[in-house]
């Protein structure tokens, strides 16, 4: 069984998570290809794959437009196939119900805009890469992080992803596709 992962990313963390997920899937016996939603080349073709996973991160309440456009263009294929979504954000790392509702609102809007209803959704906590942000992004991220009780010391970066949970999600999803209960 072959899996395709298509991602959108702004600072690269979602790309890293997708390559991590592909390694976990490969080790579990599911060969996996990873491709960006937009690369200047022709878009990834989902039809030859048995299962598809899309992944994107939230920036100011929205997922990357190329990934949203890809999901919208492919929504008929995605709705017909076993297809899952990984939503990467700091809201997923938050500790209060309003954080999780923010995450759920973004996912609901994504589903509405793309006409795609994923068979499974995983909310992954993202990263704070203070070292890569310009002055204004750093300020914005400090605000977003402070609101969610996350680190605001800007002299280092933070990877908040639970890699075990991500691995369990993707391998569980693929196993379920291969041998439905
Ligand atoms: C400018 C900016 C805006 C962001 N806005 C949000 C947001 O509205 N909600 C949220 O939960 N996380 C937000 N984040 C956190 C990102 O989702 C997180 O850093 C993620 O790991 C980025 O993934 P990427 O590197 O694949 O783009 C924001 C990050 C940046 C840099």
Least confident of 38-47, 74-83, 171-180: 38-47
Residue-range domains of the chain with CATH = 3-130+159-178 (3.40.50.360)
How many A from CA of 12 to the centre of ligand 1?
11
Helix (H) or strand (E) holding 69: helix 65-73
Q: For ligand 1, is residue 64 a contact (CB within 6 Å)?
A: no
- Write the residue with the smallest CA distance to atom 8 of ligand 1: 60
Q: What is the mean pLDDT of residues 49-73?
A: 96
Above 90 in pLDDT, residue 101? no
pLDDT at 148: 83
How many A from CA of 58 to the centre of ligand 1?
5
**The pTM of the whole model exceeds 0.85:** yes
How many A from CA of 140 to the centre of ligand 1?
10
Q: If DSSP codes are grouped into helix, strand and coil, which group holds residue 144?
A: helix
Above 90 in pLDDT, residue 102? no
CA–chain centroid gap for 155, Å, is 26
How many A from CA of 40 to the centre of ligand 1?
23
37 or 148, which is more confident? 37
- Write the residue with the smallest CA distance to atom 27 of ligand 1: 10
Mean of all residue pLDDT scores within the chain: 94
Q: Which atom of ligand 1 is nearest to the CA of 137?
A: 1
Q: For ligand 1, is residue 29 a contact (CB within 6 Å)?
A: no
pLDDT at 41: 76
Q: Report DSSP state, residue 74.
A: T
Closest CA relative to residue 74, chosen from 6, 12, 18, 153: 6
What pLDDT digit, counting tens, does each position of 14-27 carry? 999 999 999 999 99
Quote the tokens at residue 54. 């899309």
């Amino acid at each position: 069984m072959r899996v395709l992962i298509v991602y959108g990313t702004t600072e690269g963390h979602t790309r890293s998570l997708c390559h991590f997920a592909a390694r976990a899937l490969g080790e579990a016996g599911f060969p996996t290809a990873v491709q960006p939603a937009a690369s200047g080349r022709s878009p990834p073709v989902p039809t030859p794959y048995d299962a598809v996973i899309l992944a994107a991160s939230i920036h100011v309440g929205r997922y990357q437009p190329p990934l949203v456009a890809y999901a919208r263009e492919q929504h008929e294929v995605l709705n017909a196939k076993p297809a899952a979504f990984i939503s990467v954000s700091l809201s997923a790392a938050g500790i209060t119900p309003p954080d999780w509702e923010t995450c759920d609102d973004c996912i609901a809007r994504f589903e509405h805009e793309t006409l795609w209803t994923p068979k499974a959704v995983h909310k992954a906590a993202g990263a704070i890469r203070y070292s890569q942000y310009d002055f204004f992004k750093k300020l914005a991220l400090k605000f977003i992080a402070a609101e969610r009780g996350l680190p605001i010391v800007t002299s280092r970066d933070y990877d908040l992803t639970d890699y075990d949970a991500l691995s369990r999600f993707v391998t569980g999803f693929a196993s379920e596709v291969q041998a439905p209960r």
